[in-house]
Structure 1
Amino acid sequence: MYLHIPGTNVRLLGSMHLFPASSRRTPPWIEEAYDWAETLVFESDPPTILPFLKADVEGGAQVLQSLVPADAWTRLQAAWPTEGPLAPLADLRPWATLIVAPTLFQQLVDGVEPRMLRWANAHGKPYRYLETASEVADALESIPLDTVAAALSLLMSDTGEPQRTLERMHAAWLEADLPAVARIADESPIFTLPAIRHAILDARNRLWAQRVRDLLPQAQRTLVVVGALHLCGPGNLVECLGRAAQPILDDE
């Protein structure tokens, strides 16, 4: 979960972007990693993605309505916010609907990145991002409509699943148990759909690997913070880098 690339000043940290509200605890290696780093690199800047959530006139989430069971669509609409940047549902891109929908059924608090950003801003520690908002949108836009619809149908058939999965994953993450994190993700209905896994994990891992390679010669101690799922399973970021990565022990 917290790895060093030998022969470089680059470390990788597997994060959780959001925590379950019932368990806000962070493991000690989060602050240790932050304190070690002279500069931070995060996945992307969430506020810059907001303008990409809304679709053109004919490309909104309403195109999904005929692909999702009527009762599921009705319940999704009822759960959707009526105000704010995510409203109305019909104006969102289909992939944005997919990304946002599970969070409507979760009780959440800020995870690793929001906390580290607050620390960095308070301490004047520099940070940057591995990808642009446009690149995030392009990756998610690749998910076929029928796959988005299938994922939403699975979600609405068991709206308690996102919270259960989040709590299980957070518990495994606290123990730095990457195999368990991967196993829990594999059991999540949405990640049984290959196109979603490809867009969210595989394609972005390949893109990020190119950019992490550019960081390897740097003299500055650099911490790259990515979601824990990017560090486990086939096609993970370390595998795409083609470099060994060693776990950092508590006493290092």
Structure 2
Amino acid sequence: MYFQLTGTHVRLLGSMHLFSASSPRTPAWVVQAFDWAEALVFESDAQAILPFLKREGGQSLEHALPPEVWRRLDASWPSAGVLAPLGELRPWAAMMAAPTLCQRVVEGVEPRMLREAATQAKPYSYLETAEEVVASLESIPLSAICTGLESLLADLAEPQRTLERMQAAWLQGDLQAIYDVAAESPIFSLPGIRSAILDARNCAWAPRVRETLDTPKRTLVVVGALHLCGPGNLIERLQYPVEQIPFSD
């Protein structure tokens, strides 16, 4: 979960973007990783993606989804905020947001690190632009999005259950267990979704991480833990030796 790229000043940390509300504490090893770093690199700027959640004109999302999926989502969707109204969202935005409406969560690693980095004037950058994230998400087939939403609606307890199991594995530093949990999740088990969210982005990130390897600054690269496990993970794509940093909490 926490790796040293051998012979460099670069470390790689697998994060949880959200924590279960029942387990909100930042682990000590994550704090230690932040304190070690002189500079940070994150996946992308979440705030910069918000303007892309909605379509610019065109048909309502209602016409893209199966009638029963639309009816059930619309009945429970927030009536205000960045996710409202449902009809204006892009299909991938609805798919990404829907599970969080079934979860009891608090902010995860990145928002906490970003806030502390600002306090300490610690520099940070991103591996990808908002436009690149959106392009990846736009590549998800509509059929896969509909299947994912149907699976969610068939078991509304699944997102919270999956999050808690994944966080437990993460706290133990067990990448194989994280992968096993994700493989059972209806959304991440769909090839079109996994390819867009994980595989394609890992492929794009690897050369950008390699570009940091000559930096004289202690640099911490923070990506979601799922990017570090399974076929085509970021560590494999780096094609560079890494050493796991032992930690305890």
Residue 94 (structure 1) aligns with: 91
Structure 1 stretch 54-63 or stretch 3-12: which is displaced more? 54-63
Per the normalisation by structure 2, the TM-score is 0.97
Query: Are 2:9 and 1:6 aligned?
Result: no
Deviation of 1:76 (Å): 0.9
Deviation of 1:47 (Å): 0.7
* Aligned positions of 1:93-132 closer than 5 A: 93-132=90-129
What 5-or-longer segments of structure 2 have no aligned partner? none
Q: Show CA shifts across 1:178-226 (max 9, x none).
A: 1100100001011121010000000000111010011011111000000
Quote the Cα distance in structure 2 between the aligned partners of 1:40 and 1:238: 18
Quote the Cα distance in structure 2 between the aligned partners of 1:7 and 1:231: 20
In structure 2, do the counterparts of structure 1 residues 59 and 239 end up closer, same or farther at CA, with 3 Å as the change threshold?
farther
Quote the Cα distance in structure 2 between the aligned partners of 1:165 and 1:79: 21
Quote the Cα distance in structure 1 between the aligned partners of 2:63 and 2:44: 28
Assess if the C-alpha contact under 8 Å between 2:62 and 2:70 holds in 1.
no
* Aligned positions of 1:71-220 closer than 5 A: 71-220=68-217
Q: Show CA shifts across 1:37-82 (max 9, x none).
A: 00000001111001111113225522322xx2x3332111112111
Aligned length: 248
Assess if the C-alpha contact under 8 Å between 1:26 and 1:174 holds in 2.
no
Quote the Cα distance in structure 2 between the aligned partners of 1:159 and 1:198: 24
Q: SS where residue 192 of structure 1 aligns?
A: coil
Quote the Cα distance in structure 2 between the aligned partners of 1:130 and 1:249: 25
Residue 43 (structure 1) aligns with: 43
Quote the Cα distance in structure 2 between the aligned partners of 1:230 and 1:171: 17
Assess if the C-alpha contact under 8 Å between 1:13 and 1:224 holds in 2.
yes
Quote the Cα distance in structure 2 between the aligned partners of 1:56 and 1:157: 31
Quote the Cα distance in structure 1 between the aligned partners of 2:158 and 2:144: 18
Q: SS where residue 82 of structure 2 aligns?
A: coil
Query: Are 2:216 and 1:245 aligned?
Result: no
Assess if the C-alpha contact under 8 Å between 1:59 and 1:93 holds in 2.
no
Quote the Cα distance in structure 1 between the aligned partners of 2:115 and 2:241: 31
Structure 1 stretch 167-176 or stretch 24-33: which is displaced more? 24-33
Q: SS where residue 25 of structure 2 aligns?
A: coil
Residue 15 (structure 2) aligns with: 15
Per the normalisation by structure 1, the TM-score is 0.96
Query: Are 2:225 and 1:228 aligned?
Result: yes
Q: Which amino acid aligns with 1:128?
A: S
Quote the Cα distance in structure 2 between the aligned partners of 1:48 and 1:119: 19
